Chains A and B, each alone.
Chain A
Amino acid sequence: MTELFGIPVQALLGQLMLGLVNGSFYAILSLGLAVIFGMLNIVNFAHGALYMVGAFFAWMLLNYAGIGYWAALLLAPIGVGLIGVVIEKTMLQWLRQLDHLYGLLLTFGLALILEGVFREFYGSSGLPYDLPDVFRGVFDLGFMMLPKYRVWVIVMSIVLCGATWFMIEKTRLGAYLRAGTENPQLVQAFGVNVPLLITFTYAFGVGLAGLAGVMAAPIYQVSPLMGSNIIIVVFAVVVIGGMGSILGSIVTGLALGLIEGLTKVFFAEASTTVVFVIMAIVLLLRPAGLFGREK
């Protein structure tokens, strides 16, 4: 068995791949957070909870309606997006004139509500969601086993992130979004329906989270706690990457996933804290974040 730094190559590459998978989720979630923050100036604490709701929708579709993974990939995010519309229209829009902190507090409350309700009805030991058959099994590369599903997740995430980036940076809709962030009054004066844009942005952002939830369902258990487990790490990712840049969130998410994976190989006990340690270091050296633009 070939070894690198005392670790078998098989293990090392395996960890890197797994880190990439985790990083994909971090990337998608921090992407959604960044998009929402850019447009609404709200840090959506409920992002994790809505990711969890996405996973639950997939589970419900399968268990109550017999609808499988592929349809769920489309339906669950739409469902979560609709919830996002409701949240934005009934609650968030009243906070637009207030200090941004209230948005954080409101979404924190929403996260608690969602978690409490789902925990009440579904417990918290988690529900199984089986892999779709086409993804069962591994690619046996000799030096490591590569589960097919994880490869799919990485590919899907990169496509998703790329598509989102493209939409925001290269399309007209994206241009409106970016303009609306800079100067909503002016954009409104030009006849663009800014409130609609805002609602759409929020729905889109949480829809992304919901989609991540569906993709996560076969890997982790579908549990009401899955959102809160991940959201704080994603916050740290966002602080490290800086919330100004879409590309920044994606790159940071992936990179941190990789670093976490490496830490698991060399120093397993630190794997939960390494992201926060990096955040502390970044705060010391580059407070605006690696890709951020301080306001």
Chain B
Amino acid sequence: MKRHLKTSAIALATATLLGLCVTPLQAQQGKLSGDSVKIGVLTDMSGVYADYGGPGAVAAAKMAVQDFGGKMFGKPIEVVNADHQNKPDIAKNVTQQWFDRDGVDMTVENLNSAVALTVQGLAKEKNKISIITGAATARLTNEDCAPGNGIHYLMDTIALSNVVGKAIVKDGGDSWFFLTADYAFGHSLEKDTGEVVKATGGSVKGAVRHPLATTDFSSFLLQAQSSGAKVIGLANAGGDTVNSIKAAAEFGLTKKQNLAALLMLLTDVHALGLNTAQGLYLTEGWYWDLNDESRKWASRYEAVMKKKPNSNHASVYSATMHYLKAVQAAGTDDTAAVMKKMQETPINDMFAKNGQLRPDGRMVHDMYLFQVKKPSESKGAWDYYHLKGTIKGEEAFQSLANSRCPAFKK
């Protein structure tokens, strides 16, 4: 009996000490120093969205630091990264530690709308800077905005719907049927695009909701087929979009109807293969083959990552560079001063021309409408897009006047 207790005591004291030992270790990792600039890249390294951001985003951020010179006011710029595994809990944990104890000044990428909202909230609370590139929810600059702390750099659900919706209707696709991922992101994408379609003179024949992470879309597509709509709008993302498209191809849907992928990136097309993806309309904020500058940067990226970058990777580079230049110009990494500089300076680089950071956090830049090439038209891997149109930033994004952000609401 006594032995039992002694052993338990030893066991548990050891365990507790172990536990306590671990946490101080975390406390000592990195001191808060106003002088050295520390950037955190938070992304999904291995999950559903690893190709959107992932290691590529980290590489892009590091490229920016490297191009900037690697040092700010004589001190080396640090880049740390973490995998949130698409879990807001992990994201919150990591970011909190970054801001509280590790001296991180700015966090970039943050794909996955749930994660983005958490991170932006934290940035506001701790008065740091968060730059969201990979997440799409328009709430970041509306209901959940954080002017002065949060930046939404790449695209949002409103821009996505504005570009694809308008363009397709003008191109003749005036009757729509939606295939919607049955959660907030999908709903808002469906709603925003529906409004745009109707405003442009088109009609919405109906919608079918599918559960998130559905593997078999055939039954939903059957309904889309029997609706007779000219365009099937895919209000979903990632694996869902890829699977929807596969199923549509298998059913010969694309012979009579057109698909519109409302959120799709180059890497998804690569995963699908041109055979299946050809003819698809989609919108991105950037493409590697747009001009010489973009091609040059893309080659550099490809040398490191062995694949071409998508618009998210490019935006991480651009955002990081913009931030670093602002810190340099402001002479400090103090949040308010840096934000002011970032808003004052337009963005002119390989990612965007005359990009403008607005007070509500929205970075306004041109969006592009693409159509996926046929296999016969492609000259090789990653040569996937025809450029169908360029939409000016002011047209694509929601205007500040319509913003639902409490600070700017009329």
Contacts and interface: CB of A to CB of B under 8 A. Distances in A.
Is chain B in direct contact with chain A in the complex (CB below 8 A)? yes
Interface of A: 1, 8, 10-11, 14-15, 18-19, 21-22, 119-120, 123-128, 130-131, 137-138, 144-145, 147, 149-150, 219-221, 223, 225-226, 229-230, 261, 264-265, 268-269, 271-272
A124 B250 contact: no
5 contacts: A15-B219, A15-B222, A137-B252, A150-B250, A229-B213
B400 interface: no
B250 A147 contact: yes
Interface of B: 46-51, 54, 182, 208-211, 213, 215-216, 218-220, 222-223, 225-226, 238-239, 242-243, 246, 250-252, 267-268, 271-273, 275-276
Nearest to B222: A14
Given A221-B246, A268-B209, A124 B226 contact: no
Given A127-B271, A130-B273, A265-B223, 19 more contacts: A22-B216, A123-B51, A125-B49, A125-B239, A125-B267, A125-B271, A126-B243, A128-B246, A131-B250, A144-B222, A147-B251, A150-B218, A219-B246, A221-B242, A226-B215, A261-B219, A268-B208, A268-B209, A269-B182
Given A120-B46, A137-B252, A220 B243 contact: yes
Contacts of B267: 125
B359 to A, nearest CB: 35
Nearest to B277: A128
Given A11-B226, A14-B219, A272 B48 contact: no
A95 to B, nearest CB: 26
B238 A11 contact: no
B251 A128 contact: no
A271 B211 contact: yes
Contacts of B226: 1, 8, 10-11
Contacts of A127: 271
A125 to B, nearest CB: 5
Given A1-B226, A130-B273, A221-B271, A125 B50 contact: yes
B50 A18 contact: no
Contacts of B219: 14-15, 18-19, 261, 264-265
Nearest to B86: A124
Nearest to A146: B251
B225 to A, nearest CB: 8
B368 to A, nearest CB: 22
A124 B216 contact: no
B137 to A, nearest CB: 20
Contacts of A10: 222, 226
Nearest to A226: B215
A88 B159 CA distance: 54
A56 B23 CA distance: 40
Contacts of A14: 218-219, 222
Contacts of B243: 126, 220-221
Contact of B242 (A18, A19, A119, A125): A125
A138 to B, nearest CB: 5
A21 B50 CA distance: 30
Contact of A149 (B208, B211, B250): B250
Nearest to B215: A220
Nearest 8 pairs of A and B residues by beta carbon: A264-B219, A14-B222, A128-B273, A220-B215, A272-B211, A123-B50, A18-B218, A138-B252
Contacts of A120: 46
Contacts of B50: 123-125
Contacts of A221: 215, 239, 242-243, 246, 271
A219 B250 contact: yes
Contacts of B272: 128
Which of A120, A128, A150 has the most C-beta atoms of chain B within 10 angstroms of its own C-beta?
A: A128
Contacts of A229: 213, 215
A124 B47 contact: yes
A163 B215 CA distance: 28
A125 B48 contact: yes
A269 B211 contact: yes
Nearest to B50: A123
Contacts of A223: 239
Contact of A126 (B182, B209, B271): B271
Nearest to B250: A147
Given A120-B46, A127-B271, A11 B222 contact: yes
A120 to B, nearest CB: 6
Contacts of A264: 219-220
